[in-house]
Amino acid sequence: RPVWAVIPAAGSGSRMGTAIPKQFLMLQDKPVLAHTLDRLGLHPRLRGIQVATAADKAQWNAVAQHVAPLTRDKLLPVCVGGESRAQSVLRGLEALDAHADPRDWVLVHDAARPCLRQADIDALLQALDAGAEGAILGAPVADTLKRVDNCVIQETVPRQQLWRAFTPQAFRLGSLRAALSAALRQGVEITDEASAIERAGGHPRMVQGHTDNLKITLSEDMDMAAIILVGILA
Ligand code: CTP
Ligand code: MG
């Protein structure tokens, strides 16, 4: 089945604290979001990309000018995102509905993750090809975990079986749309797509990905992303 992508890119980047949201900051030669789009758009199995962005399209227009021609051909008309990441994703899925079949695969991927490797996309798609109902990239927690109250350690949390959840997260368009809108209707906080599917009784696969698929959150992450990109694009 065809593979599509939805990119939530409507955040304000409050933790980064820059005047323009982090996905529009220049990273080497182009905006963060242009890198992110090319990482997906240049993958041969990617059919089309739906971006959900802020109502003001000025910054988006600069991004579209920076993506590779092959990526540009795959960009669907952008839609406006929502108040939360989950709402932006849902808006994106609804817009994608006009182009895709409910049984098609959709990869939801953060605009703020420009260091996605082609090999990790391959691994994710392999899990789907092997029969998974859905799959996400992630990695086992490497650090010791503490539960902390007001800067005082309460306990050490066992980290066996604990994984970090990255994106892309891949599901069938129809089932993800239903699970996400049900979760939002119930008013629960949803921080990734898999949690909406889990609430609906699903058991997606966890696919181990590279930990350099970082989500740019703080200003130091920009320097790290620049270094990682040099290695990935080499
Ligand atoms: N996002 C979105 N719509 C929102 C909030 C977030 O599309 N209402 C997107 C962001 O643009 C980002 C991704 O979801 O690509 C992951 O969110 P996060 O890293 O939290 O970005 P921000 O919400 O922009 O940053 P912050 O939480 O620091 O404000
Ligand atoms: Mg946020």
pLDDT at 58: 87
Question: Strand 46-53 and strand 26-27: pairing?
Answer: unpaired
- Judge whether 109 lies within some domain: yes
23 has pLDDT over 90:
yes
Q: Is the pLDDT of residue 234 over 80?
A: no
Instruction: Quote the domain boundaries for residue 133.
Output: 3-138+164-233
What is the pLDDT of the chain when averaged over all its residues?
Answer: 96
ipTM over 0.95: yes
Strand partners, 147: 155
Mutate to test the pocket of ligand 1, among 24, 59, 85, 90 (most ligand atoms within 8 A of CB): 85
161-215: pLDDT as tens digits: 999 999 999 999 999 999 999 999 999 999 999 999 999 999 999 999 999 999 9
One-character DSSP codes across 63-106 = HHHHS-HHHHHHBPPPEE--SSHHHHHHHHHHHHTTTS-TTSEE
Query: CA 103 → CA 87, 106, 121, 131, 159, distances in Å?
Result: 21, 9, 19, 13, 36
> Please, which pLDDT band fits residue 148 given cuts at 50, 70 and 90?
very high
CB distance 86 to 5 below 8 Å:
no
In this predicted structure, the answer to whether residue 116 has a pLDDT above a threshold of 80 is: yes
Would 96 be classed as within a structural domain?
Answer: yes
Cα(85) to centroid(ligand 2), Å: 7
pLDDT at 133: 96
Q: Can you give the pTM of this predicted structure?
A: 0.97
CATH number assigned to the domain comprising residue 214 = 3.90.550.10
Ligand 1 contacts CB of residue 86 (under 6 A): no
Query: How many domains does the structure of the chain reveal?
Result: 1
Over residues 76-98, the pLDDT tens digits come to 999 999 999 999 999 999 999 99
Q: Is residue 144 part of a domain?
A: no
